[in-house]
Amino acid sequence: MITSTSNPRVKRVRALQTRRSEREQEHAFVIEGIRLAREAVRAQVPARLVFHTEQIDARGRGLVNSLARLGAEIQVVTPAIMAACSATESPPGLLAVVDLPQRPLPSPLTFALVIDGLGDPGNLGTILRSAWASGAEAIFLSDGTVDPFNPKVVRAGMGSHFDLPLCSFAGDQLPEALAGMSLWVAQARTGLHYASVDWRTPVAILIGSEAEGPRPELRRRATGLVQIPMRREAESLNAAVAASILLFEVLRQRGQP
């Protein structure tokens, strides 16, 4: 049983939890808890290392076995070590280091989301969860955006990370994969009513940072601006809510994901 925070495996997990550079170099990230472990097993993601406490229940033990079959080394740790490795206030009974998923881009691409500069990890995770549920086929994240494998993004994403192609791009030009698609920028109080756009053609939706929207280089490439009309006295919507309303309008018009 691992009991010390100076154990090299503990140090590795903590580095992956706290540093984007570590995740990118190791090409791995950490998932916490039963639910995400179940999603990883469902998606058959290669697993490298599992920490679990002795207190996990039968369901947890079943998942540990499944993760072992996906390649993970299994280690029992004390609750104190689990707490030291967890990014949450209530540490789970198990966590796992798994490969960064690499889903291929579908071809042709007909429904994508482009994110530039979003800073709040909870917002990004919620957007990924909505994007996956709405039938979006890929997410493009500019270099100014919070890391999608940040622990808070992973938690709010509820497993969507395993299914959605997530592509990073340099924010000064659009990814080539979006050539030929309409690009609509979500904007407060300007542009077309979001429900008056025909979303049944190949489309990408561009979501910018909470405070400033997308950078000018990307905005200039847009087909147009769309807004979600709202009560005059209200200032704006939460960024994840605004993105989700647009994503589900696409699905409403298309009829099925």
Residues at the interface with its own copies (CB under 8 A): 122, 126, 129-130, 132-135, 156, 158-160, 163, 195, 228-238, 240-241, 244-245, 248, 251-252, 256-257
Between 76 and 188, CB nearer to its own copies: 188
Tokens of 34: 């039963």
C-beta separation of 118 from 239 below 8 A: yes
Between 99 and 210, CB nearer to its own copies: 210
Between 57 and 176, CB nearer to its own copies: 57
Between 62 and 122, CB nearer to its own copies: 122
Shortest distance, CB of residue 209 to its own copies, whole angstroms? Answer: 16
DSSP summary character for residue 95: E
| CA-to-CA separations, 105 to 147, 164, 178, in angstroms, rounded | 19, 9, 11
CA–CA distance, 30 with 149 (Å, rounded to integer): 8
- Partners of residue 226 on adjacent β-strands: 186, 192
Shortest distance, CB of residue 244 to its own copies, whole angstroms? Answer: 4
> What is the rounded end-to-end Cα distance, in angstroms, of the chain?
46
| CA-to-CA separations, 96 to 25, 116, 184, 221, in angstroms, rounded | 17, 29, 38, 40
C-beta separation of 237 from 245 below 8 A: yes
Shortest distance, CB of residue 252 to its own copies, whole angstroms? Answer: 5
DSSP summary character for residue 228: -
Between 79 and 119, CB nearer to its own copies: 119
Shortest distance, CB of residue 60 to its own copies, whole angstroms? Answer: 18
Between 53 and 130, CB nearer to its own copies: 130
Shortest distance, CB of residue 100 to its own copies, whole angstroms? Answer: 20
C-beta neighbour count of 43 within 10 angstroms: 15
The strand ranges marked E within the chain are: 28-32, 47-52, 73-76, 94-99, 111-115, 138-142, 166-169, 182-186, 192-193, 203-207, 224-227
Shortest distance, CB of residue 245 to its own copies, whole angstroms? Answer: 5
Shortest distance, CB of residue 36 to its own copies, whole angstroms? Answer: 12
Between 51 and 184, CB nearer to its own copies: 184
C-beta separation of 74 from 146 below 8 A: no
